[in-house]
Amino acid sequence: MKIIMLGAPGAGKGTQAKQIAAKYEIPHISTGDIFRANIKEGTALGMEAKSYMDKGQLVPDELTVKILLDRVSKDDCKNGYVLDGFPRTIPQADVLDKAVSELNDKIDYAINVDVKDDNIIRRMSGRRACLNCGATYHIVNVPPKKEGICDTCGSELVIRDDDKEETVKARLLAYHEQTQPLIDYYNNKGILKEVDGTKDMNDVFADIVNILG
């Protein structure tokens, strides 16, 4: 099963994608996580990506597409994957479409996790991230067992550099201009599914499982 998660920054794509990956036994692929891992390792790709991410802008398509195609060509993707944060532009979607078609395959679902902007700003200010294992928390909604420490791996939790309010506003702008058009794009392909991302996260997941079967 090949699934795309759509939604504004902070809508809960990552939270849901991790659960989908566990239940359906497919890899969870987050371009944001790949960039953050590269930043942490200090690679050239990471440094270039960071210059855009810190401003709340999208990383250029050329760079992003290359790392995504590289990732989905790995063996563990043969039975599908859940993409979280890719595609974010129409050209990225076209490249993915072409790559999948060349394998005589198709994307099964594009799931739009719908959350409006005012709600997003509140959510992002409480997000805490583990840069070691990729786990995500929220100080009110999803607190870790021990404050500031990752339940899964024991590393220290951080506020992502791009989760400052000013940067979140820039990211929302980029989302509306460049990513939101993908909702129509996948609707026209007949694979768009919408879920209400403002519900409790377990209820959102139940709605998604209903769709995926």
Catalytically active residues, by annotation: 13, 88, 127, 160, 171
Does 112 help bind ligand ADP (rule: CB under 6 A)? no
Does 83 help bind ligand ADP (rule: CB under 6 A)? no
Task: Select from 13, 28, 71, 193 the one that contacts ligand ADP (CB under 6 A).
Answer: 13
- How far apart (Å, rounded) are the C-alpha atoms in residues 43 and 65? 17
> Is residue 118 packed enough to be buried (19+ CB in 10 Å), middle (13-18) or exposed (0-12)?
exposed
Q: How far is CA 15 from CA 25, 51, 129, 136, 171, in A?
A: 16, 25, 12, 7, 19
Contact 159/168 with Cβ under 8 angstroms?
no
Contact characters 123-152, Zn ion, x per CB under 5 A? -------x-xx-x--------------x-x
**CB neighbours of 191 closer than 8 A, spacing ≥ 6?**
107, 108, 109, 110
Residues 140-169 interacting with ligand ADP (rule: CB under 6 A): 141-142, 162
Does 57 help bind Zn ion (rule: CB under 5 A)? no
Structure tokens at 149: 């420490």
Nearer to ligand ADP, 80 or 134 (CB): 134
Does 201 help bind ligand ADP (rule: CB under 6 A)? yes
Does 86 help bind ligand ADP (rule: CB under 6 A)? yes
Contact 208/111 with Cβ under 8 angstroms?
yes
* Pairing state between β 109-114 and 2-6: parallel
Nearer to ligand ADP, 68 or 80 (CB): 68
* Interface contacts to ligand ADP, rule CB under 6 A: 7, 9-15, 30-32, 35, 52-53, 57-59, 64, 85-88, 92, 123, 126-127, 136-138, 141-142, 162, 171, 197, 200-201, 204
